[in-house]
A and B are shown apart, each in its own frame.
Chain A
């Protein structure tokens, strides 16, 4: 079974800071890398990455995949308190999904 590792596991920043969350994965039958935001309820979809080097953006969030290094990052610029959440990275391999432990981001006012 594939394994997903995220770092850091916890991060505390102040509003306006820029953060980078890391995700590394093992590939057995890799199909896509997924990022989700979880705020004490169901994870909500952020990005799906399938190709190396192509950045996906959504407002202040962006993400990119490096399939050679088996690595992805999620960037959040000008953080806001509403960005406080657990960010999950997931690997879609074959017909299944495996998730990392998440990075707990706390944004202080």
Chain B
């Protein structure tokens, strides 16, 4: 049971470098999300997508970009990495809008350090 899979799990970036965090889910969920979690803090929504070809900004989108070309994949791109982007990144997915609420499923997380 794969669920939500993220890669890489750990990465060290130099300031100004770019990279893409990959995320794929095999549950046929329409909704996908990227969160970041700073030490001792809650989850902050970066971007989300309600279906292939549709993305929207969350609470902290600056410095990031996303795309959703397929239902399964939702990569997160960091352009010009900055130390403030040092964080743990979680990709997540959930079923479509339903009357009684949905459960959100998380990937294992990607630990990113920018030095």
Contacts and interface: CB of A to CB of B under 8 A. Distances in A.
Interface of A: 1, 4, 31-32, 34, 36, 41-45, 48, 50, 88, 90, 92, 95-102, 104
A30 B100 CA distance: 10
A24 to B, nearest CB: 14
B45 interface: yes
B41 A48 contact: no
Interface stretch (B17-25, B62-70, B106-114): B106-114
Given A1-B59, A101-B40, A95 B97 contact: yes
Given A88-B42, A90-B43, 5 more contacts: A4-B42, A44-B106, A95-B50, A95-B97, A99-B35
Interface residues of B, number: 26
B74 interface: no
A48 B42 contact: no
27 contacts: A4-B42, A31-B102, A32-B101, A34-B103, A41-B109, A42-B90, A42-B106, A42-B107, A43-B43, A43-B90, A43-B106, A45-B105, A50-B100, A50-B101, A90-B104, A92-B104, A95-B50, A96-B33, A96-B48, A96-B58, A97-B45, A97-B94, A97-B104, A99-B42, A101-B40, A101-B41, A102-B42
A48 B101 contact: yes
Interface string B78-113: 000000000000101010010011111111110000
